[in-house]
Amino acid sequence: MKNGAVLTVNDLRVYYDTPAGTVKAVDGVSFDLRPGERLGLVGESGSGKSTMALALMRMHKPPARIAGGEVLLDGVGDVMELDDEGLRRIRLDRLALVPQGAMNSLNPVMRVRDQLADGIRTHEPGDDRDALTARIRAQLARVGLDADVGGKFPHELSGGMKQRVAIAIGTSLSPSVIIADEPTSALDVVVQRQVMETLRSVQEEIGASVLIVGHDMGLMAQIADRMGVMYAGKLVELAPVHDLFTNPQHPYTRLLIESVPTLMAKRALASIPGAPPTLINVPPGCPFHPRCPSAFEPCDSEVPLPTSQNGRVVSCHLYPGEAA
Amino acid sequence: MTAFLEMTNVSKVFSAGIIRRQHTVAVDDVTMTIDEQSPSILAVAGESGSGKTTLARLLLGVIPPSSGEVIYRGQSVDDLSREQRRTYLREIQPIFQDPFESYNPFYKVDHVLTVPAQKFQLAATKQETTRLIHEALDMVGLQPAETLGRFPHQLSGGQRQRVMVARAMLLRPRLIVADEPVSMVDASLRATILESIRRMKQELGISVVYITHDLTTAYQIADNILVMYKGSVVEAGSVEQVIRDPKHPYTQLLVSSIPQPDPSLPWGAEGEIAGDPESMEVAAVGCKFVDRCPVAFAPCAGQRPPLYHEHPSRAAACFRYDDAPTLEGENLDLVFERQLASQPASGSEEQAAN
């Protein structure tokens, strides 16, 4: 595995076949996930970020299909090549998902402890009953929940508690990679802060790497070590979070940051002109060129290739650097 | 002078259960005024369960208060004649959260614009109606040619929500009640919608009640804010005072929990979160926030704190400020900053609307 990454994504393509044509939801995305890091991935709705998160675990649903690329998981190999049994083995154990809106991802007719036990029993049979109970208790405590939550059904829990249960399940086998898809999108700010603190402490405790997918720039600024920006199925920029916010390179990243209202100063709210393209009809060249204030002559015809500099990757004709 | 819309000691209690009847006080004794002479944007902020949406529905007259009165132009909303109610329904327009649910998918988007225009007889001729619709769409930054004649699913979420703003504007209301209008819209398009809401105040002299959980957008567009916690107003005043320098421990917690889009700023402070933020329990006596308050002291558990008028444009319901006088009559109007409508544009609009 190159440069010790836990997960390496190479030129991943996920397409949807629809009657109207092929939708390139993820179109040649490449990045590394380093040991122990929190990598944030932002994008607007329709940018392909959630499709990609699910495709990394091959949990995408038809009509989505993997149209190319590889996802190399340290010690396992290409996840895209695994058979069903191989996939079953690594899911949860090595590569776990903390889904969006735990309200809909928990089984409504199963007690929390049974949902936690399910994964543990399947992957690591052999614990006797007491050992399993102790493990479930410890796992609930790890995410800040009382042991009696184990005996409850999801509808008896608040939104924040459900999201904690989802984190408890996702981390129950100490996976090396956690994929968190909008883990706090439906929660109030205070609860969101608590849940993110929980996710961070569990992740640090088990030494996992996290890929956090979301749309909230503020949340990403606070939680991520590095951050990627997706637009129209492409990863347009990837950089350490501090660099990205202080010195965004891609015009889309810059405009996106400027459009986020802050408490620092009152100003006329900036917005990005135009609308994101529908992925069925992506503009030729750079997909952002119709909305880009810096577009120049190659932008409407040539697709910019990712170039890398000082640990940052950007796909924009303004930065003709070394190919990444 | 009678105010345009007033709430006097309004409470709303929802009851559920047959044998063990449970009561939830969604809005607890709120008094406020919205007047016409000085249009302003008032943010009503709170988390889920704070009663902010119930407050919106009370203002819109969709639900009646359990006690207290909603008064429209000097008359209780309950006692309006058919004709008055019609005017009331035109003068106060809602904008809802979900830009898809508000449409009938089988009708073209024109439907939401032409039907109210006809119902309220905004124009005498068809050409006149079309002109008004085009004008409203222009105002929210939409091209009529690219918008009309399409079905809701052919527009983006941001465009659909802007059509809703145009619809509200078309009726030349005096007040718009916008319940989380941008929470389902993408970041890059959010600003456009907020900007058109701000223009409504500035150019058309329409007041806005902006219901939100997001203090950042509230700070950006509102003049005044009212922070609710479990049905009660815990802090109110100008946004500058309340958001930049919050006094109630709950407002302080809310403000510091907002993740700022700047990695060098901290996220929250140590020891700030106590208790369970999602608990639905409310103490029968004492401050509603007492279980979660990091600075609670003896009086907090004993009785409910009144609003203390501790700054000319801010009041906080917290005993830490009990050396300040209480807010007279709990009337939130006293802390709200108002500019008088001075733009000539809004004056002429007003005449046109009347």
- Return the CATH number at A268: 3.40.50.300
Number of compact structural domains in chain A: 1
Range of the domain at A129: 2-323
Q: What is the pLDDT of residues A57-110, one digit of tens each?
A: 999 888 899 999 999 999 889 999 999 999 999 999 999 999 876 667 889 999
Q: What is the pLDDT of residues A104-133, one digit of tens each?
A: 788 999 999 999 999 999 898 888 889 999
All domains in chain B, ordered by first residue: 1-223 (3.40.50.300), 227-337 (no CATH)
- Best B278, B279, B291 residue to mutate vs chain A (most A CBs within 10 Å): B278
How far is it, in rounded angstroms, from Cα A261 to Cα B218?
A: 10
B311 class by beta-carbon count within 10 Å (0-12 exposed, 13-18 middle, 19+ buried): middle
3-state SS class at B170: helix
- Best B100, B155, B256, B260 residue to mutate vs chain A (most A CBs within 10 Å): B260
Pairing relationship of beta strands B207-212 and B224-229 according to DSSP bridges: unpaired
* pLDDT over 50 at A275, yes or no: yes
- Best A45, A156, A190, A192 residue to mutate vs chain B (most B CBs within 10 Å): A190
Q: What is the pLDDT of residues A231-262, one digit of tens each?
A: 999 999 999 999 999 999 999 999 989 888 88
Which chain A residues are Cβ-neighbours of B190 within 8 angstroms? 259, 269, 271
The separation between the first and the last C-alpha atoms of chain B, rounded to the nearest angstrom, is 17
Query: What per-residue confidence (pLDDT) applies to B1?
Result: 59
User: Interface pTM (ipTM) of the complex?
Assistant: 0.85
Pairing relationship of beta strands B75-76 and B67-72 according to DSSP bridges: antiparallel
Q: What is the pLDDT of residues A138-166, one digit of tens each?
A: 999 999 999 999 999 999 888 889 999 99
How far is it, in rounded angstroms, from Cα B254 to Cα B277?
A: 11
Query: What per-residue confidence (pLDDT) applies to B352?
Result: 40
Which chain A residues are Cβ-neighbours of B195 within 8 angstroms? 268-269, 271
Query: What per-residue confidence (pLDDT) applies to A322?
Result: 61
Q: Which residues of A touch B (CB under 8 A)?
A: 44-45, 158-161, 188-194, 215-219, 221-223, 241-242, 245, 255-257, 259-264, 266-272, 275-276
Q: How confident is the model at residue A309 (pLDDT cuts 50, 70, 90)?
A: confident
Of B221, B263, B276, the CB nearest to A242: B263
Chain B residue closest in CA terms to A222: B263
The number of CA neighbours under 13 Å toward the Cβ of B144 is 13
How would DSSP label each residue in B285-296?
SS-TTGGG-TT-
How many CB atoms within 10 Å of residue A50? 22
Residue type, A280: I
How far is it, in rounded angstroms, from Cα A113 to Cα A172?
A: 12
Q: What is the pLDDT of residues A182-229, one digit of tens each?
A: 888 778 888 899 999 999 999 999 999 999 999 889 999 999 999 999
Q: Which residues of B touch A (CB under 8 A)?
A: 47-48, 156-159, 186-192, 194-195, 213, 215-217, 219-221, 243-244, 253-255, 257-264, 267-268, 273, 276-278
Of B191, B215, B253, the CB nearest to A259: B191
Q: What is the mean pLDDT of each run of 10 residues along chain B (354 residues)?
A: 86 85 87 86 91 92 93 91 92 86 86 88 87 90 87 84 90 92 79 86 92 92 94 94 94 92 85 73 83 90 92 94 89 78 41 40
Q: In what order do the strands lie in the sheet with B232-238?
A: B92-95, B175-179, B207-212, B41-45, B224-229, B232-238, B314-316, B308-311
